[in-house]
């Protein structure tokens, strides 16, 4: 299987993770013009499962190092499988809330708040579970990202004041915060089931990134039967939606959702692969720089802050600088 043995390459993969995790929301924005997010989310999950299989059959099966995809699945013990399935369920609960927040408050608000909170809490959780890198530099980087989140919140409140904050946008902010708190814990369950110190010759019973991603996606799919069915029957906004409506969607609409799931899964695969060299805390933290990417999409492409006062634009500029500085410090911490 494909294994990363160079820290610089691991950082490159983490940046791709960040781009993927910060960009998949665009597919939801595209589909939302004619498609409820609850329906979009089914295709998103199917895209995730399909990509996890594809990555296992390609990168997870080629090469001379490590166990192949099917061999790794066959030898995994149930404790580790259960840990990854639980990680998938935890992620799914948080991501459904995040998707609802995007539909209510927009990309530029939902991602910096929700995923930013997940980054801060998740780095602490993952560092305690698998300490790697310079903690002082790492947490200084996290502090800068906390400040970036605060600035984004101020910018969002000023935008809402200028544009008459609606009940739905306030609900979106609350959902983003809940999503971030829950999301902070999913990665630890997955990392605990992988032998991060030796992907080339992993401990028997433990998983490699490719088998972990596949099992994780199954956890997301299984939990979606409960979580998303509930969201369809008890939506955060609007009328309940049925499964019949899902099958009435066009092929193009379904493909957009599947693409969104595949984009997220690509980023996740690279994050798991990079964790072996960069460590779980650094790999997770760099990937969760996604709010900066999502905010760029929201501000410059979707124009979610269009017509706001100049002070809001200054706040957003400072947010981008702090996020970039925080990510830079996180990279440096992992090299020490």
What are the pLDDT digits (tens) for 112-125?
778 778 878 888 88
Weakest-pLDDT range from 9-23, 53-67, 95-109, 313-327 = 95-109
Q: Average pLDDT, stretch 178-201?
A: 90
Contacting residues for 245 by C-beta, under 8 A, at least 6 apart: 36, 39
Rounded CA-CA distance 292/14 in Å is 14
Residue 176: both structure tokens together: 């983003």
How much is the pTM? 0.84
Tell me how far apart the alpha carbons of residues 244 and 162 are, in angstroms, rounded to a whole number.
40
Residues 273-312 have pLDDT tens digits of 998 888 877 888 777 777 778 777 877 777 766 666 778 7
Record the tokens describing residue 221, joined without a space. 């799919």
Judge contact between 114 and 177, C-beta under 8 A: yes
């Amino acid at each position: 299987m494909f294994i990363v043995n160079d820290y610089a390459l691991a950082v490159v993969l983490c940046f791709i993770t960040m781009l993927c995790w910060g960009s998949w929301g665009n597919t939801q924005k595209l589909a939302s013009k004619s498609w409820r997010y609850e329906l979009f989310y089914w295709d998103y999950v199917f895209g995730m499962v399909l990509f996890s299989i594809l990555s296992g059959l390609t990168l997870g099966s080629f090469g001379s190092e490590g166990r192949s995809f099917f061999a790794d699945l066959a030898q995994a013990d149930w404790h580790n499988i259960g840990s990854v399935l639980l990680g998938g369920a935890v992620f799914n609960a948080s991501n459904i809330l995040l998707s609802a927040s995007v539909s209510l408050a927009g990309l530029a608000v939902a991602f910096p708040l929700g995923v930013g909170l997940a980054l801060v809490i998740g780095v602490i959780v993952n560092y305690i579970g698998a300490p790697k890198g310079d903690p002082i530099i790492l947490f200084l980087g996290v502090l800068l990202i906390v400040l970036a989140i605060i600035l984004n919140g101020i910018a969002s409140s000023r935008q809402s004041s200028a544009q008459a904050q609606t009940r739905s946008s306030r609900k979106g902010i609350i959902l983003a915060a809940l999503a971030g708190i829950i999301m902070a814990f999913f990665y630890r369950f997955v990392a605990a089931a992988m032998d991060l110190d030796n992907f080339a010759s992993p401990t028997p019973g433990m998983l490699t990134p490719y088998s972990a991603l596949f099992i994780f996606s199954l956890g997301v799919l299984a939990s979606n039967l409960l979580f998303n069915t509930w969201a369809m029957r008890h939506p955060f906004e609007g009328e309940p939606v049925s499964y019949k409506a899902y099958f009435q969607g066009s092929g193009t609409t379904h493909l957009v959702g599947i693409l969104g799931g595949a984009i997220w899964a690509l980023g996740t695969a690279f994050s798991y692969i990079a964790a072996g060299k960069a460590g779980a805390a650094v790999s997770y933290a760099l990937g969760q720089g996604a709010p900066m990417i999502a905010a760029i999409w929201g501000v410059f492409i979707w124009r979610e802050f269009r017509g706001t006062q100049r002070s809001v634009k200054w706040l957003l500029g400072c947010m981008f600088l702090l996020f970039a500085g925080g990510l830079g410090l996180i990279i440096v911490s992992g090299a020490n």
